[in-house]
Structure 1
Amino acid sequence: MEKKVLITGATGVTGKHAIANLLKMNIPVRALVHRLDERSEALAAQGVEVVEGDLSDFNRIGEVLQDIRAAYYLFPIQVPGIIESTAYFAQAALENGVEAIVNMSQVPARRTSVSHGSQNHWVAERVFDKFGVPVTHLKPTFFAEWLLYSIRSIKTQDALIYPFGDVAYAPITGEDQGRVIASILSNPAPHAGKTYPLFGLEELTQYQIADMVSEVIGRKITYQPVEIPDFEPILRTAMRGNDYFTQHILAVAQDCRDGYFSGTNNYVEEITGQKPMSMMDFIVKYKTALL
């Protein structure tokens, strides 16, 4: 029986695109989801083996990793627990003979990060490194999908409201990351032990992104920068009082201002053979949602 590739976070922004690309390559996929719903049913309809489980459940992880050749690990940034879960995942992968892991980290993850989430991602990287299963770390900048989180303010206030100042960075789409993940999982050996910071096509400020949205949807959208302390109550309300995630976002907002999210490189094109999607093309693709 041919071993499968495991995708965790299978219905999320990166996981669903990784699965789509793996299926194009005729690579069998097992998808781990938190709950069975219409999104998981859509995966099953494509021939994906869908399993339900929790990345914080060591015994369940061991079951899910049986007969898996390579795996994509994505722990949700909204909640604590990544270090313990990473140890569970790495040990279960070792026990089941998994040949490679692609680990989703983040570009500001570092030992000295003020964000508990970013610092925990850095520690999780070190946990994977020490277990012996070949691993590739992906460290993306802010996702282009952040724009879609602003749909409400775009529709009600004609505005993007963020605490990122006037700093430019190159937003990367989940679609591009999915292609990177699938490409590495299809042939992991050349990427073993490597860390890839991932960026979109070009660096842009929120002012420039707002102008692009204005052009596409046909009405003026402005960027309204706010100071980080002033953004906290807005974020806390949106996150329904999630202290862990609120602390992370406020800390990485400062990281963005300090340039940690800025930069460009050619890794997406080198790994997948295709340039990343431009922000303008992303906005055009999601025009209907932004109207």
Structure 2
Amino acid sequence: MTTTLAVTGATGGLGGRVARALAARGVAQRLLVRDPARAPQLPGATVARTTYGDRAAAVAALDGVRTLLMVSAAETEDRLAEHRAFVDAAAQAGVEHVVYTSFYGAAPEATFTLARDHWFTEEHLRASGMAFTFLRDNLYLDFLPHMVGEDDVLRGPAGDGRLAAVTRDDVAASALAVLLAPGEHAGATYDLTGPEALTFTEIAAIIAAHTGRPVTFHDETVDDAYASRRRWEAPPWQYDAWVSTYTAVAAGELASVTDHVARLTGRAPTGLAAYLAAPHDEETP
């Protein structure tokens, strides 16, 4: 049977969820991965090695693929260039429809610096001639507990801004719905959020209530935020991304709640309290 659906990022948290869900429904797929040895062993799945920046390998790996789930690449300084190269390879290979995991509020001058890369990737897809669907997920709700420091403080310059964070499970379920009927979603942009928008003060209180830790939120200044994060060695663009996560919240750019998860999946998205109350395997977000 010819495999006409491909999934990138199958060794990661989001792509892996989608790949497993497709396999559970008996859908044949091709997993595009950097390291085939790490690819999940799934019924109906074949594996092809490629990277976003290797155009020749990507063209070969995408041969015969009609629909592609393009999970955004790992955060690097040259991620946008890698995205553009991969989009070009997909078009050259004859891919008809790309479902791209973008970011909520993607715009050329978004406060969250990495949202700008997503915008320009979207624009490259629009110009590619391929059909597209954009899944603009908000910040991952799964990650919020991991933002709390060892001192039980959640810190950043978010002020009283609100955040409509969404679980990776809900993003994966939304992606699955699109991939099962891609033609119904061609040209669509979905803003994927949780069911509520919370301040970081409220987030800290919910985490405290469910973990028993005395978690509090400290509203840093921007200068203090950069200073506190310099304990980790990182390039300047990475510090900008870390800090602008919070300033985007302060600016109100991640606050609006949508019904797009429910529209795609048929069920309401999971909120922070419900997520923390449920059992979870230990996993890095």
Same structural fold, with TM-score higher than 0.5 when normalized by the shorter chain: yes
CA distance in 1, matches of 2:234, 2:113: 16
What secondary structure does 1:270 align onto?
Answer: helix
Q: Tell me which residue corresponds to 1:89.
A: 86
Is the aligned partner of 1:198 residue 2:181?
no
What secondary structure does 2:162 align onto?
Answer: coil
Mean Cα displacement is larger for which, 102-111 or 2-11?
2-11
CA distance in 2, matches of 1:277, 1:70: 28
Amino acid at match of 1:207: T
CA distance in 2, matches of 1:77, 1:144: 18
**Conservation of the 8 A alpha-carbon contact between 2:11 and 2:33:** yes
TM-score by length of 1: 0.88
Cα 1:258–1:14, aligned 2, differ >3 Å: closer, same or farther?
A: same
CA distance in 2, matches of 1:174, 1:269: 14
Amino acid at match of 1:275: A
CA distance in 2, matches of 1:219, 1:115: 29
Is the aligned partner of 1:242 residue 2:235?
yes
* Match for residue 270 of structure 1 among 248, 263, 268: 263
Q: Tell me which residue corresponds to 1:158.
A: 152
Q: CA deviation at 1:91?
A: 2.6
**Conservation of the 8 A alpha-carbon contact between 2:20 and 2:42:** no
Task: Return 5+ residue gaps in structure 2 as ranges.
Answer: none
Q: Which has the higher contact order (CA 8 A, sep 6+)?
A: 1
Taking the TM superposition and a 5 Å limit, the aligned residue runs for 1:125-136 are 125-136=122-133
Cα 1:195–1:149, aligned 2, differ >3 Å: closer, same or farther?
A: same
Cα 1:88–1:288, aligned 2, differ >3 Å: closer, same or farther?
A: closer
TM-score by length of 2: 0.89
Taking the TM superposition and a 5 Å limit, the aligned residue runs for 1:1-291 are 1-36=1-36, 40-41=38-39, 43-44=40-41, 48-76=45-73, 78-113=75-110, 116-150=113-147, 153=149, 156-238=150-232, 240-285=233-278
Amino acid at match of 2:266: G
What secondary structure does 2:30 align onto?
Answer: strand
Cα 1:269–1:250, aligned 2, differ >3 Å: closer, same or farther?
A: same
Amino acid at match of 2:212: G
Q: CA deviation at 1:142?
A: 1.3
Mean Cα displacement is larger for which, 87-96 or 54-63?
87-96
CA distance in 2, matches of 1:53, 1:275: 36
Amino acid at match of 1:25: R
Amino acid at match of 2:182: P
Aligned length: 283
Q: CA deviation at 1:133?
A: 0.8
CA distance in 2, matches of 1:143, 1:36: 26
Amino acid at match of 1:66: D
Q: CA deviation at 1:206?
A: 1.5
Q: CA deviation at 1:134?
A: 0.4
Task: Return 5+ residue gaps in structure 1 as ranges.
Answer: none
**Conservation of the 8 A alpha-carbon contact between 2:157 and 2:221:** yes
What secondary structure does 2:256 align onto?
Answer: coil
CA distance in 1, matches of 2:17, 2:228: 30
Q: CA deviation at 1:36?
A: 4.8
Percent of matched pairs sharing the same residue = 23
